[in-house]
Amino acid sequence: MSQIAAVEPPPEESPTCTSYLDAGHTLVSWLTTTDHKRIGILYAIAITLFFFIAGFAIGLARLELMSPRGMLLTDEGYNRLFTLHGIVMVWFFLVPSIPATFGNFLIPLMIGARDVAFPRLNLLSWYIYLIGAGFTCYAIVAGGVDTGWTFYTPFSSLYANGNVVAAAAGVFVAGFSSIATGVNLITTTHMLRAPGMGWFRLPLFVWAIYATSLVMVLATPVLAMTLLLIVAERLFHLPVFNPHEGGDPILFQHLFWFYSHPAVYIMVLPAMGVISEVFSCFARRRVFGYVMMIYALLGIAIIGFFVWGHHMFVAGQSQYASLVFSFLSFMVAVPSAIKVFNWTATLYRGSISFEAPMIYAMGFLGLFTIGGLTGLFVASIPIDVHVTDTYFVVAHFHFIMVGGTVSAFFAALHFWWPKITGKLYSEAWARFAAIIMFLGFNTTFLPQFIMGYGGMPRRYHVYPQEFQVYHVISSMGALVLFAAYTLPLVYLGWSLFYGKRAGPNPWGATGLEWQTPSPPPEHNFDEIPRVDAPPYNYHPEKEEAFEPQGRS
Amino acid sequence: MSEDFAPKASSYADQWDWLFFVLVTVSAIVVAAVLVAIVVFSIRYRKGAAAFRKDLPGAFSNRLEYGWTTATALGFLAMFWWAAATQLHHAVPPEGAVEIHVLAKQWMWKIQQPNGVQEINELHAPTGQPVELIMTSEDVIHSMFLPALRLKQDVLPGRYTYLWFNGDKPGVYHLLCAEYCGTAHSRMTGRFILMSPVDYSRWSARQPQADNAAKQGEGLFNSLGCTGCHAQNSSVHAPDLHNVYGRPVQLADGRSVVADEAYLRDSILLPGKDVVAGFDPIMPSFRGQVNEEQIMQLIAYLKSLAAPGRNK
Ligand code: HEM
Ligand SMILES: [Cu+2]
């Protein structure tokens, strides 16, 4: 073990000590915990809350869109709802979703460590997140913001009449929480791997979170700076983006997308990690092309920094800049394609079963493939010129972020639920919810491709008649989707009280996290395991056979 | 208003649809292939089914990976090539386009036809000849979206952006603002009316006639006192503005720029930015004294002083 771990000496309790859930039942014991597992759960509670707040906002907006004239809301009200939806979903749900919950909970377990490298920083990052969320809630309660989540200048800095400063402050502060989480998880992965856990023995989930953390640490400061510039212009009239004072409104878009394009990878790389774990466990096969999968993750993380200009094909940037960004966008799609092929090939000669996590993961694969392919459409300049800022782009990024990331989030939730809670949920209900979610998703978002192609602009409160039928179908789908998202609350909640006890390893999986009791003890492992095998040692030819990555 | 879904009004829109549908087809094939693979594997290798499950030979899986990586990269390259070629082909407007000025503001479109006719939230244009929109915004960023042409271009404050097209199907189509611009963004819409050249000139003649932009610009040029320095017989040493538009200008700091709309605009508002070689930086800024519309008119006037070429 390294020096950093030595700061936190292994507890002296007996090997049969209590689980992390029983290590204190008071609220204070939760709010002052430095246990990465409890912090993961704190994050999970917070982001679930924000997921439903943001979902509720867009639910109202979708209801409104059933009519082309706008019967329910004012223009202003509608604009505030979609802005709220975007800001909260992106920064208070998607960015922390998998890394701060499952990343936090699982990384130390998967690499055989007792905690993250900086447990107190970990707790601090949750509080920072809450402070950021507090500013954002204030912005909402005090009347809302109407800039869209993209905060384009000079609208946001000079013309918007909502609480731009509070909203920007919320996002600014929350950024520090992602930086702290990123630093923590990078250090943890470098310093705290159990003996024998070489870089090329790491489960792909660890690699994915590692790549994500790098992007978080490198990109988020740019966002922070950009938001500060907006606030400086708005409050102190420092002319940065105001063209009438010599500022440049397009500069904002460069800075914003320099963060926000990598940020879309912050949102999707962890999902890729989850899918690799789930596919290999339920196909009982080693992930096809394990090494290539790692290079693909890193390739996406790195090239992802150089494609931001593809959000600006019609913004007035030079034709030649656009060509370069278009080319690089095609290139960043290559590693994504490889991942799709490799997951599919993992099924070949497997011994496949279809438990709920696997159904969610297969849903991910289909939806991510469509999202990625439509990424090629918008990377083609002439196509993008027509479909940018229409519902086509809305559909594209929802396929990636909702069809992809949120499906993966649910795959992870169902896969690791027995580990986290020690309880088994109802398999039948979980499969049912997974299928409803897939159908609801497609009903909601497929029609949006069609109306986008037809020229339906995004962020429109009232719209031309001919698009109504697509909006109505989309809103119906949203209703189904909402039901599918609430179902797990019910049956997972139920399992907490009445679920059967899960053994340490209900799926017969190979990762170290399955080699300790469910729920794990406070210090994760009674004895730090020694790792003597690569990950994913499954043997499809002999049913159920596998070799765990290591033993205590 | 046309009630068809996604009507097309130019041959470019035809090309665009063709590119789009080829991409849709290719994607559908890829999705189908992945789907078939998943379904076949899921059935054949489901748990409990008798199947051959030994490891793949390592050399074979390596070859497979190199194979599909190369194939994907080449396929993407081909797509990029096609899309980029289509784009470049359409990049430069042909000579002698009809120039229509567009001024966007929260939340309306103000249009000025070449002969000075003004419209609000309506854009009339002739078919069968290139038309170029010269656009700027008075406040925030807007975006001119003409779905029937499959074209869109952001409209920026403090800058000019351009959009050109060659419509071929008379009709009434949507004109939309595509960049979110505040409260009534979704109401910043209007009609895009393509007319045969004959109808267009008939329509134009029926409108209340105003001076054309250049004429109005000339008036401003005199009333704002520009002539005091820029007239040929002036005692102050200032550049002669005949023939300046569209020509390269040598600057005092050694750079050389082409005098386009943006350059002329900056010279009026930020005269210290690009000082012409051989002149003192004595020109005052007219910031605050002229609005966007007036700047456009001044520029139109300066363009009318240039030798015939790009201009009508
Ligand atoms: C397969 C690779 C991908 C390519 C080539 C690609 C390409 C693009 C392009 C060119 C745009 C700009 C469209 C426009 O604004 O008109 C775009 C938008 C977007 N993409 Fe992707 N994309 C890919 C994958 C992803 C992934 C993995 C995510 C997220 C996890 C993502 C999320 C987004 C988002 C959020 C937007 C819209 C931002 C906005 O305008 O609000 N994309 N994508
Ligand atoms: Cu607008």
Using the Cβ of B36 and the Cβ atoms of chain A, whether some distance falls under 8 Å is answered with no
pLDDT, mean of residues B2-14: 83
Q: A92-101, A152-161, A471-480 — which is least confidently predicted?
A: A152-161
Which uninterrupted H or E stretch holds B53?
none
Q: A1-10, A197-206, B228-237: lowest mean pLDDT where?
A: A1-10
Task: Report the distance separating Cα A248 and Cα A259, nearest Å.
Answer: 18
State which H helix or E strand residue B111 sits in.
strand B108-112
Cα A346 → chain centroid: 23
pLDDT reported for residue B299: 85
The pLDDT assigned to A5 comes to 38
Residue B3 is predicted with a pLDDT of 57
Q: What is the DSSP letter of B288?
A: T
Tell me if the bond preceding A154 is cis, omega within 30° of 0: yes
**Which tokens in the block code for residue B70?**
């190369």
- pLDDT for A1 equals 33
- Of A64-68, A224-228, B236-240, the range with the lowest mean pLDDT is B236-240
pLDDT at residue A180 tops 80: yes
Ligand 1, residue A388: give the atom nearest the CA: 16
Structure tokens of A381?
Answer: 């300049």
Percentage of the residues of chain B whose pLDDT score is greater than 90: 48
Q: At B86, is the pLDDT very low, low, confident or very high (cuts 50, 70, 90)?
A: confident
- pLDDT: is B91 or A90 the higher one? A90
DSSP B232-284: TT-SS-----TT-TTSEEEBTTS-EEE--HHHHHHHHH-TTTSPBTTS-S-PP
Task: Order the strands of the B131-137 sheet from edge to edge.
Answer: B118-120, B108-112, B98-105, B131-137, B161-165
Question: Has residue B172 got a pLDDT over 80?
Answer: yes
Does the distance separating the beta carbons of A244 and B287 come in below 8 Å?
Answer: yes
Here the ipTM equals 0.88
A384 CB within 6 A, ligand 1: yes
Distance in angstroms (rounded) separating the CA atoms of residues A279 and A345: 10
Residue A67 tokens read as 């009519």
What are A315-359's pLDDT values in tens digits?
Answer: 988 889 999 999 999 999 999 999 999 999 999 999 999 999 999
CB A37 within 8 A of CB A101: no
Q: Which of A313, A374, A396 to mutate to test the pocket of ligand 1 (most atoms within 8 A of CB)?
A: A396
Closest partner CB to A461 (pick from B46, B148, B186): B186
Contacts of B161 in chain A (CB under 8 A): 316
Q: What is the pLDDT of residue A17?
A: 62
Nearest to A526 by CA among A32, A114, A55, A25: A114
In this prediction, residue B56 carries a pLDDT of: 80
Structure tokens at A23: 């290590």
Average confidence (pLDDT) over A418-439 = 95
pLDDT at A14: 44
By DSSP bridging, strand B190-195 and strand B171-177 are antiparallel
pLDDT band at B232 (very low <50, low <70, confident <90, very high): confident
Please give the pLDDT value at position B286: 83
**What average pLDDT score do residues A402-414 get?**
96
Q: How far is B170 from chain A (nearest CA, A)?
A: 19
Answer whether residue A2 shows pLDDT above 50: no
Mean pLDDT, residues A172-186? 96
- Return the pLDDT at A10: 45
Please tell me the distance from the alpha carbon of residue B193 to that of residue B113, in angstroms, as a whole number: 13
Higher pLDDT, A11 or A140: A140
Q: In this predicted structure, which of A76-80, A156-160, A477-481, B305-309 has the lowest mean pLDDT? A: B305-309
Query: Which atom of ligand 1 approaches the CA of A332 most closely?
Result: 2
* Average pLDDT across chain A, whole number: 92
Q: Which atom of ligand 1 is nearest to the CA of A265?
A: 30
- Segment B8-14 shows an average pLDDT of 92
Tokens of A272: 């890729």
**Between residues A31 and B286, the one the model is more confident about:** A31
Of how many residues is chain A composed? 552
Residue B139, CA distances (Å) to A148, A153, A317, B105, B158 in order:
17, 10, 19, 6, 9
| β-pair partners for A530 | A551
Amino acid identity of B44? R
Interchain proximity B156–A334, CB inside 8 Å: no
Q: Which pLDDT band holds residue B222 (cuts at 50, 70, 90)?
A: confident
